[in-house]
């Protein structure tokens, strides 16, 4: 029964139940359970789209003047609920639907065309989860999002580009900037197989995450990649929120 033990340890039962349910009711919307033509029903799709930000490119340069931040939506209402349902109710396909929306927005944006032309061989790297969290959730929502986006834009996706070496608290649970900083210090590493430290050519990547709050996680990931000669050319998130101090 060793095989059964390892399968049941690797996949949580509720995830298995959702996979079975999705296979049986393939056409149902994961948010409202009503029949759907696409991943989401038209009604939920419309509700999520109502939270699309008027500006994909964030003009205030919250990361730096060199690294643009793109946020598809505003972290509120139906979009906030959809992200929570994806992560906490085991519906990774919600992130696929959102990844498709971001891919379409990216294709239409004049800023992003400029990045693609300037930096050839761009690769997509999602912000990783720590293996403990990955095991309990069953999937990394940022990776699901990044993979869908990459396929639609014909770009390589490298989920192995960055690893989470520290099981950090959620940034939202930390108090004050000092604790947030300590929480994330050395949270990431770049595997030797992905590093281009000994190469003369700098790798160019676009980072992907679901939510942008203070940007501390993103900044730590950018610094870790930079130490291995990997340059982040842009950051894309589903939604941006204002972090309350």
Residue 38 or 156 with smaller CB distance to Zn ion: 38
Residue 69 or 94 with smaller CB distance to Zn ion: 94
Residue 47 or 153 with smaller CB distance to Zn ion: 47
User: Taking CB under 5 A as the criterion, which residues in 23-82 touch Zn ion?
Assistant: 29, 31-32, 41, 44
- Look at residues 187, 181, 185 and name the one whose alpha carbon lies nearest to residue 165: 187
Closest distance to Zn ion from the beta carbon of 39 (Å):
10
Structure tokens at 54: 């008027």
* Residues 122, 169 contacting (CB under 8 angstroms): no
Closest distance to Zn ion from the beta carbon of 32 (Å):
3
Is residue 86 a contact point for Zn ion (CB under 5 A)? Answer: no
Q: Is 134 exposed, middle or buried (0-12, 13-18, 19+ CB in 10 A)?
A: middle
Placement of tokens 């997509």 in the chain: 124
The residue ranges of DSSP E strands in the chain, in sequence order, are 69-74, 122-126, 163-164, 188-189, 203-212, 230-240
Residue 27 or 32 with smaller CB distance to Zn ion: 32
Rg (CA), the chain: 18
Closest distance to Zn ion from the beta carbon of 43 (Å):
5
Closest distance to Zn ion from the beta carbon of 84 (Å):
15
> Could you tell me how many residues of this chain bind Zn ion (CB under 5 A)?
5
Binding site for Zn ion (CB under 5 A): 29, 31-32, 41, 44
């Amino acid at each position: 029964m060793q095989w059964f033990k390892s399968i049941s340890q690797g996949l949580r039962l509720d995830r298995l139940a959702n996979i079975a349910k999705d296979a049986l009711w393939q056409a149902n919307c994961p948010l409202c359970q009503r029949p759907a033509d696409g991943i989401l029903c038209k009604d939920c799709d419309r509700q999520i789209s109502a939270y699309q930000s008027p500006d994909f490119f964030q003009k205030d340069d919250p990361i730096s003047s060199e690294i643009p931040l793109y946020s598809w939506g505003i972290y509120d209402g139906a979009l906030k609920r959809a992200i929570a349902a994806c992560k906490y109710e085991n519906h990774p396909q919600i992130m696929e639907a959102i990844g498709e929306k971001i891919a379409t927005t990216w294709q239409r944006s004049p800023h992003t065309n400029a990045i693609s032309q300037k930096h050839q061989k761009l690769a997509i790297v999602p912000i990783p989860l720590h293996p403990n969290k990955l095991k309990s959730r069953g999937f990394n929502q940022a990776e699901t999002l990044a993979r869908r986006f990459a396929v639609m834009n014909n770009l390589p996706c490298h989920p192995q580009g960055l690893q989470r070496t520290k099981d950090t608290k959620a940034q939202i649970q930390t108090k004050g900037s000092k604790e947030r900083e300590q929480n994330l210090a050395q949270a990431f590493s770049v595997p030797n197989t992905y590093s281009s430290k000994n190469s003369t050519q700098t790798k160019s990547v676009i980072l992907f995450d679901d939510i942008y709050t203070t940007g501390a996680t993103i900044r730590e990931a950018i610094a870790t990649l930079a130490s291995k000669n990997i340059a982040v050319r842009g950051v894309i998130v589903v939604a941006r929120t204002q972090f309350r101090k």
